[in-house]
Each structure stands twice: as structure tokens, then as C-alpha cells.
Copies of this chain bind each other. A is one copy, B any other.
Amino acid sequence: MPPSAIVNHRIVLHSRPVGAPTVDNFRLEERGIPLPEPGQVLLRTLYLSLDPYMRSRMSDEASYTAPVAVDEVMVGGTVSCVEASQHPDYQPGEHVLGYSGWQGYALSDGHDLTKLDTGIGMTHYTLALGVLGMPGLTAYRGLLDIGQPQAGETVVVAAASEAVGAVAGQIAKLKDCRVIGIAGGSDPCRFVVEELGFAACIDRYNADFAGQLAAVCPKGIDIYFENIGGAVFDAVLPLLNVHARIPLCGLTAHYNDSGLPQGPDRLGLLARTLLAKRIRMQGFTSFDDDGQHYEEFRGRMNTWVQEDKIKFREHIVDGLENAPQAFVELLAGHRYGGLLIRVGHEKEAVDEAAKADALSARS
């Protein structure tokens, strides 16, 4: 029996980061595997999704959700297999979307689980952590409900190579907008243009970022899909058109802030710009969505994915112990696509491998 079957490996918040997180802010622990009580299921994690929002949970600052306590398991969306069940609705072997966090096993009473073996036909389960899950829903709601894109408009998408931005930009393309991406580094920028088909993508680490962005937006910006902030927003602000919309679902450039930056104070400047140009700026998260919108989203997005109108790249890193390093790299902005940690393997795959071993031993 492999070690993961008898020990629960979990990664806890070891210390709160000051500035950018490092791997030292995390700690790998071993625990016993809990047994499900009546009404509970024991889940074995197959995939953990790493997402920028997790950075804000590491700080002791009020945000849209409560912070993770020090010494507690890091939170996160997961695809799991039901390992044992004392819950009438779940049978061993079923696959579920849940929130087990950064660990190999977890108990659930089922309230936060979505079955993945039924319903719409997913090509593979991990899409439930990406284009058909939280990142996809964030992109869908922000771009359509708040952005309200019109054909011919210029849409600029921050963090365009990452899970949320990549989907938001592709939806804008489906709405016949001219879509410009912003990404961190030349490889992600190439991916955004060549694989996702954006009209252009500007490297935010380029010294002339603001000038390059202005050059590819000769008609200004009608929708700015914001999830970075900082110097990227500063470059966008003067380009915004009258009646622009700013769906705001993340501010990764600020997650590492400790204290406010030096002046002058531009809070009033932002308000005056929103007034002078009658701009809508709205924070949102996919957590606020009710179930009804989720079903509409999942059906529509699934169709787009099946028809190859929306592409979704996954980057899979093997082993829970590698999650801290992968997360630190994610925040640096060099990633593209959704970032997944393969925490455990499918039982079928293990059995197939065992069978292959047995066959080869016989030959």
C-alpha cells in the first residue's frame, strides 16, 4: 500500500507572509486519516487548484472571505474521489468537486460537494476546477454581467494568460470585441496571442508597458477586466472611454502590500475619472453567485468548450509537497492556464499499472 493511503499529508499556513509569500510560509504535516461518522464522506484528493485569491487568505486583513488561521490547512478547490461513505448520497468511487484544501484526505458532510460523474459531459474532471468551475464562472459573470460587451468594443484583460483572464478574453472574442491581453513575460504573451487568439498581448514587466498598451488601444478601452491593479491599472486609467466598465475580481499586485504606498493621494482622481467618464467599476467574486446562474453558466460554457470555441490550458504539477513552490511562481505572474496540483492518482490508473506490472512479470 503506498504511503499516501495510510497518512494524510497536509500543508498548513506556517506564518503570515510579509510582502511576497515564500515557501517558508507553508509547512507540510502528516496526520492520521480520519474516519467518516454517520452523514460524512471521506474524500481522497486527486487534484488541487492553485489560484491567486489564496494569497489574500494568507493575510490577517479583512477581505471577501475570512483569513486562514496560522497552523490551519490552506483552503482550495479540489477534485476528489469518495474513499469511504457514511452518507446516503455518496458511494465509494464517485468523483466530486469540493473544497478539501491542500491535503490528501478530508471529511465532508456533502453540503459543499458537486458530483462530477453525472450531469453535463465533461471531457475530464479537472475542468470542474477551471473553465467549468470557479475561474470560468468568474470570467463569465464579470465579463457578461458587469462588462456587458458590445460588438466592436475594445476589451483589455489583465492576467490574460491565467485561468480567469484567458476565459474572459475568449468570451469577449465570441462577442465580437477586439481583445487585448496583459500578461507577465514573453512566453505567456505569446500563448495569449497564438493559442487564445487575442489581437495583442502586452508584457506588464516591459519598461514601456504603458506606452505599448496605449499603442494597441487607439480607440481607448471600453471594458477593462481587472485582476491585477497597481501599475497595470495606472496605465489603463487614462485610456478608459466614456461609459467604460471595470469588472474587478482580483488585485494581485496589491496582495503583497504592507501599508499604503507614497502619495500623492489619487483616490479622488479615481473617483473624478469614474464621474467624468461615467464609468462603472464593480468588485465581484464567483462565490456570490446563486445556483441558478451557475447552471446556466455551466451549460453554456460546456458547449463552448465542446465546440472548441473556448480553449483552456492546464498546467499540472505532481505532488502536494510541490504546491508551495508552484503557488509562489503563480503569484509572480509567469504562469499560463489553470495551475493544478496532482495530489493523488486515480484508483483505476493504479490498478491498470498493477495489472501491467503483473502482466510483464508473467511474460
Contact = CB atoms under 8 A, between A and B. Distances in A.
A326 B267 CA distance: 30
A269 B267 contact: yes
Given A64-B276, A279-B282, A265 B262 contact: yes
A251 B268 contact: yes
Contact of A62 (B265, B276, B278): B276
A223 to B, nearest CB: 14
A248 to B, nearest CB: 5
A89 interface: no
Interface stretch (A149-157, A192-200, A211-219, A283-291): A283-291
Interface residues of A, number: 42
A242 B66 CA distance: 13
A74 to B, nearest CB: 20
A268 B264 contact: no
Given A279-B283, A280-B280, A264 B274 contact: no
Contact of A265 (B243, B265, B278, B279): B265
Contacts of A281: 271, 274, 280-282
Nearest to A227: B275
Nearest to A276: B63
A251 B62 CA distance: 28
Given A251-B272, A282-B279, A266 B264 contact: no
Nearest to A259: B264
Interface in A226-259: 226, 229-230, 233, 242-243, 248-251, 254, 257, 259
A56 to B, nearest CB: 8
A264 B285 CA distance: 28
B283 A282 contact: no
A277 interface: yes
A257 B271 CA distance: 13
A265 B268 contact: no
A2 to B, nearest CB: 42
A3 interface: no
Contacts of A207: none
Given A233-B271, A265-B265, A280-B280, 4 more contacts: A64-B278, A248-B274, A248-B275, A263-B263
